[in-house]
Structure 1
Amino acid sequence: MTSTPLTIHESLREEIISRPDMILDDRDLMQALIAANERAMGGNIVDLRGIAMERLEIRLDRLEDTHRGVIAAAYENLAGTNQIHRAILRMLDPLEFEPFLRDLGGEVAEILRVDRVRLVLESAQNDSDPAIRRLGDVLSVAEPGFIESYVSDGRGAPRRPVTLRQLAGGDPAIFGDAATWVRSEACLRLDFGAGRLPGLLVLGSEDPHMFTPQQGTDLLAFFAGVFERAMRRWLA
């Protein structure tokens, strides 16, 4: 009657001796053993080693959480980089100006997953040019000084190449009829070179969390830099 429990006990003992990592790698088992050891020592004895292990476990949990966060951020950054690269390659395909701008509001916008793309060019002339009217869904012409006022929201904020912000509604001067449902935007300043007025590329989204001030802007700044260089070909 007693031989079976004894056999099981001996086999388990031999298994543990031959493979101690089986217990050392199991956190629940280790915690159970530490708790049993504390009970055996009594309540008047402070187990400093157990306290140290508990603190190490807490630090390990924090480290694992940080590790997972870093990996998630790296994957997100890689996905964003691939997205920008795809948009740039598509943007550089057209050989003429009008298809270049149409693609900007079409396939390029789809790749970037934004609902509206608008290019604002400052000019001392009016926008009565037929080409401008044909591209009115993407291109608009504004008076000199408009871009600085729009990006800074009239507050004279520091100049930044990319501004991300959430909106209660878009500006009709930029988004037209779509302004009522635009909830966030990215404003990319454009420098076309000496002697030329600046430009602004505005990405608008219905999602209020698409563009927020807490997000990084490196990829969008890179996109704006490539766009500037592409535009200089057409402005030359």
Structure 2
Amino acid sequence: MSDVAVDLEELREKILTEPDVILDDRDIMRVLISANEKSLGGNIVDLRGIAMERLESRLDRLEDTHRSVIAAAYDNLAGTNQIHRAVLTMMDPVDFEGFLKGIGTDVAAILRVDSLRLVLESEANSEGEIAVRRLGEVLTVVKPGFIADYLTQGRDGVPLRQVTLRQLRPDAEVLYGDATQWINSEALLKLDFGEGRLPGMLVLGSEDPHQFRPNQATDLLAFLAGVFERQMRRWLS
């Protein structure tokens, strides 16, 4: 018996003992079905072949959906871990100056943003504002009403959300300074420091125009804003 015949006999035995090897291979099954259709002739329609093609198409769509769901889950987990790390970092400092420095360096690096600013409204005079500014470059003091105006872009009747995401090049050097010209998307976290206190805002700016988009979920950023509010209330008390 020739080597070819021996190989064929071994292959036949393999298929007979383990048919799943063939059935689980989509490429082999597709070739076998195509060969069967050709043997039937042009006047016969093989409904089993058509049904299998449709099932394969549905399977492909299901696999694509499955991959998309898994990718989204991993992204969500990574985002959650990122926010948790930022929160733990914010809780480390023992004084307000260290808290501000950590925001502009460590927290900004963890969140992977190109600019991070804390905006506080104040009715203090110029000397008072300068004294506050010296606590860190991350802090910006503005007049009352600035935050609402910036969030709504000066439009009346626009609701103030806790988290606002938008893709734009902001016209606000008071927030970003020299970085204004290359900030292309931003996340604005409105802060409530309690009754009787003026509001604040945490501003995250990115050079990437797609990092913050209006259609993104905001639950993690809302959690970050909530923790930040509580930390600020501690320093303001």
Q: Aligning the two structures, in what range does the TM-score lie when normalised by the shorter sequence?
A: over 0.9
Gaps of 5+ in 1: none
> What CA distance in whole angstroms lies between the structure 2 residues aligned with 1:106 and 1:17?
66
Aligned length: 235
Do the aligned partners of residues 110 and 5 (structure 1) sit closer, same or farther apart at CA in structure 2, a change above 3 Å counting? closer
C-alpha displacement at 1:169, in angstroms?
A: 4.3
In structure 2, relative to structure 1, the CA distance for the partners of 1:126 and 1:52 (3 Å cut) is farther
Residue identity over aligned pairs, in percent, reads 66
Task: Name the CA shift for 1:147/1:6 in 2 (closer, same or farther; >3 Å).
Answer: same
Give the equivalent residue in structure 2 for 1:38: 37
Query: How far apart in 1 are the matches of 2:151 and 2:59?
Result: 45
How many Å apart are 1:9 and its aligned residue? 3.3
Task: Give the corresponding residue for 1:231.
Answer: 232
Counterpart in 1 of 2:154?
Answer: 154
Matched letter for residue 149 of structure 1? D
Shift of 1:79: 1.1
Q: Secondary structure at the match of 1:188?
A: strand
1:81 CA drift (Å):
1.0
2:50 maps to 1:66: no
* CA distance in 2 between partners of 1:171 and 1:180 (Å): 10
In structure 2, C-alpha distance between the alignment counterparts of 1:207 and 1:4, rounded to whole Å: 63
The secondary structure found in structure 2 opposite 1:128 is helix
Q: Note closer, same or farther for the CA distance 1:10–1:182 as it changes in structure 2 (3 Å cut).
A: same
2-structure distance, mates of 1:183, 1:69: 27
CA distance in 1, matches of 2:3, 2:110: 68
- What are the residue-to-residue correspondences of 1:1-236 with 2, within 5 Å? 5-129=4-128, 130-135=130-135, 137-156=137-156, 157-236=158-237
What amino acid sits opposite 2:222 in the alignment? A
Unaligned runs of 5+ residues in structure 2 are none
Aligned-pair CA distance for 1:98: 1.3
Q: CA deviation at 1:131?
A: 3.4
Deviation (angstroms), 1:3: 5.4
Does the CA contact (< 8 Å) of 1:188 and 1:220 recur in 2? yes
When the two chains are superposed, the root-mean-square deviation of aligned CA atoms in Å is 1.6
TM-score, normalising length: structure 2: 0.93
More displaced, 213-222 or 27-36? 213-222
Secondary structure of 2:235's aligned partner: helix
Q: Secondary structure of the residue that 2:93 maps to in structure 1?
A: coil
Q: How far does residue 71 in structure 1 lie from its aligned partner after superposition?
A: 1.0
Q: Render the CA deviation track for 1:50-98: whole Å, top value 9, x for unaligned.
A: 1111111011111111111111111111111111111111111111111
Provide the C-alpha distance between the structure 1 equivalents of 2:79 and 2:12, rounded to a whole number of angstroms: 54
| Distance in 2 of aligned mates of 1:197 and 1:106 | 26
Deviation at 1:8, TM superposition (A): 3.6
CA displacement, residues 77-121 of structure 1 (integer Å, 9 cap, x when unaligned): 111111111111111111111111111111111111111111111
